[in-house]
Amino acid sequence: MLIAVVSGFVFSLAVPLLHRTVRNVTDWLVVLLPFSLFIYFSFLTQPIAAGGVLSSSHAWAPSVGVNLSFVLDGLSLLFAILISGIGALVFLYSSGYFKGHSGLGRFYAYLLIFMASMLGLVLSDNVIALFIFWELTSLSSYLLIGFDHERSSARSAARQALLVTSVGGLALLAGLLLLGEAGGSFELSQLLREREAIRSHRFYVPIVVLIMVAAFTKSAQFPFHFWLPNAMEAPAPVSTYLHSATMVKAGIYLLARLSPVLGGARIWQGTIVVVGAITMLIGACLAIKETDIKRILAYSTVSILGVLTFLLGLGTRAAVEAAVAYLFIHALYKAGLFLVAGIIDHETGIRDVTRLSGLARIMPVTALAAAVAGLSMAGLPPLFGFIGKELLYTATLQAPLANSILTAAVLLTSALLVAVAGIVSLGPFIGRTMTLSEKHGGVPLTMTAGPVVLAGLGLLIGLLPNLVAGRIVSSAVGAVLAQPAAIKLALLHGLTVQLGLSGLTFALGVTAYLRRDALRRAVSRFDLGTALGPAKGYSLTLDGMTALARLQTRILQSGHLHIYLFIILAVTVGLVGSWLVRYYGLMRLEGWADIRFYEFLTALVIVAATIVIVRASSRLFSVVALGVVGYSMGIIYIIFGAPDLAMTQFSIDTLTVILLLLVLYRLPRYARYSTTLERLRDAAIALAVGVLVTGLTLAATAVPPISQISSYFAENSYLLAKGRNVVNVILVDFRAFDTLGEITVLAVAAIGVYSLMKLRGNGSDG
């Protein structure tokens, strides 16, 4: 299985090169890969249906429990077959759609990366690996949507899709990390065993919320549904493959995959049902409103995704059965219809359904395929879609509560979708024959093959449902329910309520189709989803964030040095203060009486000189005062028995004063730059800070630490051996390394100063 996943990635690297050298062969080579994968997975249906599970594991970062482990069960197999099978058709289609396009090699590469990631996603047993493939599908879909980036709408659509799905991706990462923490493992098979622990874990609610955000963004559920129609800027093969058959179902896959672990609780089931129901209704209404054929299909996909979500939320056996079957059915007919839409767009350049008509005479094969797929979408016998609709009604009728409301909602959605099916698969082909501006030589076989095969399969499975029921659907249902299931599908069950509902749906749908223009106007009047819809919310969020960012920048990054300093100081004081308030004690300075007069005098001189430095209006005064401070410090060092230090202080201080004086002669005099008011304000702020700092420092230093230290030294008396004036000895012998550093500091300063002075700025006076 590793080979199945990796082959796509490896091949994607080679394809652009191949395309440049052996163009004609490449087209067939790229089809061959998904096709052979399809054959491989098809052969696996037998052992899987017999209850087997294939798995393989490869260590990646085992220390933290991240492995490339793959498991193939019924659910994965269903997806794998769809991915590889539809993939083969899409690759074939692309070779016709992009004939002669210079970037075809690149396109194949992106598409292969996507296919491989999607396979990795559905086959991963490790949730972190799953997340990685999940993000790779987002990335490759971004590249694919933006492939035709001549149009500005394409790039904003691509960005929107990537942003929305990457929000979901990060939510997924957080959710999966929490899940791993709650379940003690990142392997899905392990997590399944820990489900009780996970459901009672305190992280359960955050996990559920995060996973749902991920699934809903990926599968375009309300309120994140807006990105999918906008992503229709993508070329038709991409829309077919990503936005109907596979990628958007990844969210559904995630919900299905995790429902044995997380499901059962009201928050899980209830939220999913409600969101799914809202999505299916909104999707269907919006589909009616649109006139662009691809956007219509996109909204109908949103609606179906809502149906699938809704069914998973119901969680009963019948509902899961319906969901799995419907997922399969939808992939077949919707991929077919998208391919048809691509053909129409490719041949006529028109995507507006109100302007398309009579194409059946120009492209009869396509029209036939479209009609069959459309009938499947409308749910008419003897097509696979009909079976799906029956199952759907069975599920809602058997729902644990509110089954009449749910059935009504599904009925409404389905009726609208019947009308949509008519609009897209019937409308463009009947009526007055259009005159095409260009003479064209018929639709290439590579492009018609896809719709024909898909529509044919829909018909074939409709007639012989048990071709797939036992092999694929049963095992997939079993995987979702985490218990074996054996399902028989049949086209007709006799006269049941479901059949009646199907008939009603169709009747309503046909009525809606006939009055489609009136309906479109009616829906447009409500203006769903533009004024206050989530798409608006998306753009408001972006604008808001940018505005907030600007505001914050203005406040925080004014470029004024002293504002920076003030904030730094204020925060420091605040931090110190908040920690010290707990310990605050009164200042106790003992032994004031013992101070000798000259000591006091020295201290006084220092303080006075310091104030002079800060306040002086003459530069010379400040510098002299700085010197005074330095020398007084030297005196204090002598008092405290540090003559070596005092000598250093004296010499360095002299040096500094001389340096400052030299520099001062090059600079202008002090001048008052700020107004008195500003100075007062600054002084007030500074004084407040100063008082607080002083107070805190004194409070902190009030208790001499000596008392505690004596016991320590009693224990470690050997450390006391050092004498008084060994500073230089220590410097040379013990501190060799630091001294090396110190000398280098001086060297660096010298080099730097030299080079800064050496080069004269343009037009400077030197």
Partner 1 sequence: MELPVVDFTAVYPEVVVTLVGLLVLAVDVFLKPERKTVLAVIALLGLFLALLVTLAYYPLDEVAFSGMVAADSFSQFFKLIFILSAAFSILMSPRYLQIFNINAGEYYELIMFCTLGMMVMVAGNDLVTIYIGLELMAISIYLMAGFQRDNPRSSEASMKYFLLGSFASAILLYGMSFFYGITGKTNLEEIARYLDFTQNMLNTKLITLSLVLMTVAFAFKIAAVPFHMWTPDVYEGAPTPLTAFMSVGPKVAAFAVILRVYMTTFHTLVPDWTQLFWILSVLTMVVGNVIAVAQQNIKRMLAYSSISHAGYLLIGVISAGTATEIKINGLPATSLVSESMMSVMVYLFAYMFMNLGAFAVVIALAKAGNPRELLQDYAGLARRKPFTAMLMTILLLSLLGFPGTFGFIGKFYIFKAAITTGNVTIAVIGVIMSVVAAFYYIRVIVYMYMREPEGEILPEADFASSTMYAVITTTVFTLLFGVAPGFIIAMARYSIEQMLA
Partner 2 sequence: MINPVHLMALGAALFCIGMLGFLIRRNLIVIFMSIELMLNAVNLNLVAFSNQFQSAHGQVFAVFVITVAAAEAATGLAILIALYRISRAVNADEARILKW
- 593-652 residues near partner 2, rule: CB under 8 A: 594-596, 599-600, 603, 606-607, 610-611, 613-614, 619, 622-623, 626, 629-630, 633, 636-637, 639-642, 644-645, 648-649, 652
Rg of the chain over all Cα atoms, to the nearest angstrom: 38
Look at the block and give the residue holding tokens 């029921």.
469
Q: Are strands 66-72 and 54-61 parallel, antiparallel or unpaired?
A: antiparallel
Contact 189/125 with Cβ under 8 angstroms? yes
- CA distances, 299 to each of 133, 166, 287 (Å): 26, 21, 5
Residue nearer to partner 1 on the CB measure, 39 or 587:
587
- Closest contact distance (angstroms) between CB of 716 and partner 1 is 8
Q: x-or-dash pattern for partner 2, window 178-217, by CB under 8 A?
A: ----------------------------------------
> Rule CB under 8 A: is residue 753 a binding residue for partner 2?
yes
Choosing from 166, 190, 291, 610, the residue that interacts with partner 1 (CB under 8 A) is 166
Residues 682-701 that bind partner 2 (CB under 8 A): 682-683, 685-687, 689-690, 693-694, 697-698, 701
Residue nearer to partner 2 on the CB measure, 3 or 595:
595
**Residue 552, both tokens:** 């914050």
Residues 677-696 that bind partner 1 (CB under 8 A): 696
> Rule CB under 8 A: is residue 699 a binding residue for partner 1?
yes
> Rule CB under 8 A: is residue 738 a binding residue for partner 1?
yes
Q: Which does residue 401 touch among partner 2, partner 1, none (CB within 5 to 8 A, set by kind)?
A: none
- Closest contact distance (angstroms) between CB of 708 and partner 1 is 5
**Residue 59, both tokens:** 């260590």
Residues 203-262 that bind partner 1 (CB under 8 A): 203, 206
- Alpha helical stretches, state H, 200-316: 204-218, 227-230, 236-240, 250-262, 266-289, 293-314
Residues 418-447 that bind partner 1 (CB under 8 A): none
Q: Which does residue 636 touch among partner 1, partner 2, none (CB within 5 to 8 A, set by kind)?
A: partner 2
According to DSSP, residue 352 is labeled B
Q: Which does residue 542 touch among partner 1, partner 2, none (CB within 5 to 8 A, set by kind)?
A: partner 1
Question: How many residues of this chain bind partner 1 (CB under 8 A)?
Answer: 95
- Percentages (nearest 5) of helix, strand, coil residues in the chain: 75, 5, 20
Look at the block and give the residue holding tokens 């019948």.
318
Q: Which does residue 25 touch among partner 2, partner 1, none (CB within 5 to 8 A, set by kind)?
A: none
- Closest contact distance (angstroms) between CB of 692 and partner 1 is 13
* Residue of 514, 86, 129 lying closest to 337 (CA atoms): 86
Long-range contacts of 601-610 (CB under 8 A, 24+ apart): 602/632, 602/635, 602/636, 602/639, 603/636, 605/632, 606/632, 606/633, 606/636
Residue 122, CB-side half-sphere exposure with 13 Å CA sphere: 31
Q: Which stretch binds partner 1 (CB under 8 A): 188-196, 529-537, 633-641, 703-711?
A: 703-711
**765 SS3 class:** coil
Look at the block and give the residue holding tokens 């489609």.
516
Contact 274/303 with Cβ under 8 angstroms? no
Residues 531-570 that bind partner 1 (CB under 8 A): 542, 545-546, 548-550, 552-553, 556-557, 559, 561, 563-565, 567-568
> Rule CB under 8 A: is residue 737 a binding residue for partner 1?
yes
Residue nearer to partner 1 on the CB measure, 463 or 563:
563
- Closest contact distance (angstroms) between CB of 597 and partner 1 is 27
Q: Which does residue 751 touch among partner 2, partner 1, none (CB within 5 to 8 A, set by kind)?
A: partner 1
Q: Which residues contact 527 (CB under 8 A, 6 or more apart)?
A: none
Residues 156-185 that bind partner 2 (CB under 8 A): none
* Residue of 336, 332, 361 lying closest to 347 (CA atoms): 361
Q: x-or-dash pattern for partner 1, window 35-74, by CB under 8 A?
A: --------------------------x-xx----------
Q: Which does residue 135 touch among partner 2, partner 1, none (CB within 5 to 8 A, set by kind)?
A: partner 1
Taking the C-alpha atoms of residue 230 and residue 535, their distance in angstroms, rounded to an integer, is: 10
Q: Which does residue 488 touch among partner 1, partner 2, none (CB within 5 to 8 A, set by kind)?
A: none
- Closest contact distance (angstroms) between CB of 539 and partner 2 is 24
- Closest contact distance (angstroms) between CB of 134 and partner 1 is 8
Residues 650-679 that bind partner 2 (CB under 8 A): 652, 655-656, 659-660, 663-664, 666-668, 670-671, 673-674, 679
> Rule CB under 8 A: is residue 460 a binding residue for partner 2?
no
**Residue 206, both tokens:** 């955050």
Taking the C-alpha atoms of residue 327 and residue 318, their distance in angstroms, rounded to an integer, is: 14
Q: Which does residue 194 touch among partner 1, partner 2, none (CB within 5 to 8 A, set by kind)?
A: none
Residue nearer to partner 2 on the CB measure, 514 or 652:
652
Residue nearer to partner 1 on the CB measure, 64 or 691:
64
Residue nearer to partner 2 on the CB measure, 43 or 592:
592
Taking the C-alpha atoms of residue 314 and residue 393, their distance in angstroms, rounded to an integer, is: 13
Residue 235: phi and psi, rounded to 5, are: -60, 155
Q: x-or-dash pattern for partner 2, window 574-593, by CB under 8 A?
A: ---------------xxxx-
Positive or negative, the Cα torsion across 248, 250, 256, 260?
negative
Contact 667/652 with Cβ under 8 angstroms? no
Look at the block and give the residue holding tokens 């069975």.
394
Look up residue 394 and give its amino acid: T
What is the crossing angle of helices 152-183 and 250-262, to 10°?
A: 20
> Rule CB under 8 A: is residue 554 a binding residue for partner 2?
yes
Taking the C-alpha atoms of residue 122 and residue 131, their distance in angstroms, rounded to an integer, is: 11
- Closest contact distance (angstroms) between CB of 541 and partner 2 is 22
